[in-house]
């Protein structure tokens, strides 16, 4: 949820939010989705280290001009995050992909040491 929808969404109870989510999921996945084994909810804008947004989007030209520089390690620092994902930028999948790639790069360096 973003913008005005987020403000309204945050004002309703967790149980009402859960009911809305699982009923929407049931539309796509059937009635089995009405009884999930777990339900986890995160208020990303409310997290102190997020700063209000869950992702940053780059304007046109940034990737084509600076893409490689955005992903190159700086000393011992290896970058990962949804913003630098080649696929699924802005989504958890992109963050996981870049995290796995950074971990593999670090592991390769440690294996060579």
Does residue 108 share a domain with residue 66?
yes
Q: Cα(46)–Cα(19) distance, rounded to whole angstroms?
A: 21
Does residue 82 share a domain with residue 42?
no
| Overall domain count for the chain | 2
Bridge-partner residues for 74, per DSSP? 77
Considering the domain boundaries, does residue 25 fall inside one? yes
pLDDT along the chain (113 residues), means of 10: 81 94 94 94 80 69 83 92 85 92 94 84
Does residue 73 share a domain with residue 39?
no
Asked if 86 and 101 count as a contact pair (C-beta separation under 8 A), the reply is no
Does residue 39 share a domain with residue 14?
yes
Least Cα distance to 91 among 60, 48, 41, 55 occurs for 55
Q: What is the pTM of this model?
A: 0.53
């Amino acid at each position: 949820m973003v913008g005005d929808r987020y403000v309204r969404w945050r004002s309703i109870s967790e149980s009402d939010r859960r009911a809305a989510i699982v009923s929407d999921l049931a539309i796509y996945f059937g009635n089995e989705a009405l009884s999930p084994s777990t339900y986890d909810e995160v208020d990303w804008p409310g997290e102190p280290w997020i700063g209000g947004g869950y992702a940053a989007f780059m304007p046109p030209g940034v990737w084509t001009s600076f893409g490689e520089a955005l992903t190159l390690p700086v000393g011992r620092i290896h970058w990962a995050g949804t913003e630098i994902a080649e696929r699924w930028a802005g989504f958890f999948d992109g963050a996981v992909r870049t995290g796995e790639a950074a971990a593999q790069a670090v592991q390769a360096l440690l294996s060579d040491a």
